[in-house]
Structure 1
Amino acid sequence: WFHAGELAPAFDLWPDTTELGEGELYSIPFQNDKGADAKVFSSCNPATVDRHFQWMQENSIDGVFLQRFISELSIPSLKRCRDTVSVLVGKSCEKYGRVFAIMYDVSGSRSETVCSEIMSDWSMLAKEFTSSSSYLHHNGKPVLGLWGFGFSDRPDPGVSQLVKLINDLKQSAYVVGGCPTYWRQGINDSLEGYHDVYRMFDCLSPWTVGRYVHRTEVTDYYQTLFKEDVAFCEENNICIAPVAWPGFSEMNLKRTESSCNVVPRQAGAFLWEQFRASVKFNPLFVYVAMFDELDEGTAIFKVSERSVILDRGLVHPDVPNQLYRFLGLDADGVSLPSDWYMRLVGRFTQCFSEMCISPDKESSLNHLHEIQGIDMPERVRLYLKGLIEQQNLEYDRARQEVRECYRKILMREGDPEGVSHYTQCLLRGVVISQIEQWMYDSPE
């Protein structure tokens, strides 16, 4: 709830707290539509952390990367909170047979000190946690994540400093780098000239949240950009771990209605398409973003099945009619159980594990509505089947329009990358006349 700021919710999903005991719930200065005080949980409560890892066990989810923000380590109260949660996570992982690994997030930290802060903090955490059976290891070393280096809007200590940092960490840890989507090209979300840094990592995990919207964009991303990322990594003996995310919404964070449900979840079809596309490249693992992040609407743990309205004005008469709306899992037109996304992630984990155990088994997945082993209501299966059929028709129609534009204006067949780009523009709402104008204005 740190993102909540000054008593103004900045998150778009409301957690399902029906299973939580009274000792796990904390009142906030808002009331629901029944006039009762709204209550939330705390990740500093041992019972709640225990419950979350029990959910993971019940749904065959292996474990978590535990985020640790460097910018908070110099603030005693926030550091105590992070330290407390780390201990609780370690205990719950041991209890439920799950694993965890520390992931440093450099967002908001200082370029001048971030490297030394990481080394200092890790030297302490490594002694405290990595000997535990629940701490994730790979190739005989404890796994450590570094997220945010190389992003154009994150701290930049410089290539030489980062090469030294990663090299020092690799002496005793297996280091995973959370990197920009366009890390290889050094454009858009990525700084230029960082290849020497990326080559130092044992594994790279390109951050793709918000980078595509339509289900068919996922396929195009993996068949073009990610495919070339994999080739680079194989050439440099680096493993790769794609990111998969269920959807995106930041209405309360941005305070704008247009930011509501920006990337619809489509009852899991969007997430599952990322799973289908990623396994074809035999990744080291798949990073699901996120287990419990509510503010950008990416959480997969139990959330409200229906929308929730809170009113601060009922508690504070000086701010009447100050309403906040939170998405329910039914936002896309079909009712879903609160644990639906944990079910999907758990079933994917089982499928992925089977592929890893049997390398000769084809690395492919059916569409979500065709998958067995998920407790899926028939109404959801029919919704998914109809959705995919409709989206495929829309995609084929848009692709054909783009190809005709190439022939009419540029007098040639469209190249795969160009056709893919313009097709996705059409699917996002760009009109065909704009596509034609772009082609007329091109150097050709």
Structure 2
Amino acid sequence: MMNDSLPLQDFNASLQAFLDASPTPFHAVVSMAQRLDVAGFQRLDESDDWVLEPGKGYYITRNGSSIIAWRQPAVDAAVNLGWRLVGAHTDSPCLKVKPNPELHRQGYFQLGVEVYGGVLLNPWFDRDLSLAGRVSYRDDEGRIKSALLDFEQPVAVLPSLAIHLDREANASRSINAQTYLPVVMGQADEKPDFRALLKQRLEVQGVAEVETVLDYELCFYDSQGAALVGLNQEFLASARLDNLLSCFIGLQALIDGGEAAAGQVLVCNDHEEVGSMSACGAQGPMLSQWLERVLPDADQRNRSLSRSMLISADNAHGVHPNFSDKHDGNHGPLLNGGPVIKINANQRYASNSETSALFRHLAEQVEVPVQSFVVRTDMACGSTIGPITAAELGVKTLDIGVPQFAMHSIRELAGSQDAHGLYKVLQRFLQTDQV
């Protein structure tokens, strides 16, 4: 039976805490794993032999940045009812530190960065930036280990050039990613050793056995936390709403969904923002390899997939009051107007009439309004893990999302009610025996 839904206020408070604790995909997966542990899910290692019990919850991670969590059904239920899958992605566009990043210019210590994904670059200037990610090191006994690192406090800034030195800035300034984006870390008489700085920070965090920092995957992030804003707190403002918002919604729906006859699955992949082609991305083998292990018989697996459905949750473009002409006039989703079914005739989204109809039906049952998005016919359409996963597994799929503004900015904006609405619909989806 389905558990009670979290009240809106409690849901948003938990969501904000999750966003603030998840500055990188690595941290997001740790945050999700901690919540799954509390909910009684058992962590499994992909290198171990698995003994799975029907009705019990499990999860695995890959690369520390992708996660699959599920409740194991009985074999006959998996075959006859299939799986209810919710998919999202853990990564967000950002600025990543280069391997040899140190710069020393005009007495300032700077780090060179690489642009990850389709970043909206202008908003990164004049923000209080911190730094987080994964660091790999050799310990005192010669073993190679990794640890997560988060400076937490603001340690960097990307200052704008004054308008007095570029009078055309408001009319024509474009950003050269190579020359304009090195981040200012502070002042120094000579070029510091960045790896030595990381070693020092790891020791501050309690990792005392570091002999040498060998490599890292680090990105800058906005140190300002998530907040409810607006005269009546109508909006949620935060970094990484695309797509940690969907990760949290799917996670909470799975935890609160309760047991069901059909299999219940949450998959959150890394690398969606750069094409999903990786060992832990949606275009990689992670999900199909997992499915082969939880349902080993190929004939049973194919029969099960024919009775399964995936909901790919990735945020949608809300109609902006200052740029309403960027939307089709009949398909401009409103913030706090409910989750959005995303449709594209050229299969950039995987929705079809049957999967859309089921979602509308489930939303009616929990009294959540539903909207639609179709990109203007004269504009290109983005995509999601939906079509990729549908093609990899052959599973019927729906693309949906919470409407938002400022997608791919350093700070994005969504309605404060929409995530909770989608959470209630996904709870019901994980319980349904009808796909």
Is TM (by shorter chain) over 0.5? no
Greater per-residue helix proportion: 1
Return the structure number with greater strand share.
2
Q: Which has the higher contact order (CA 8 A, sep 6+)?
A: 2
TM-score under structure 2 length normalisation: 0.27
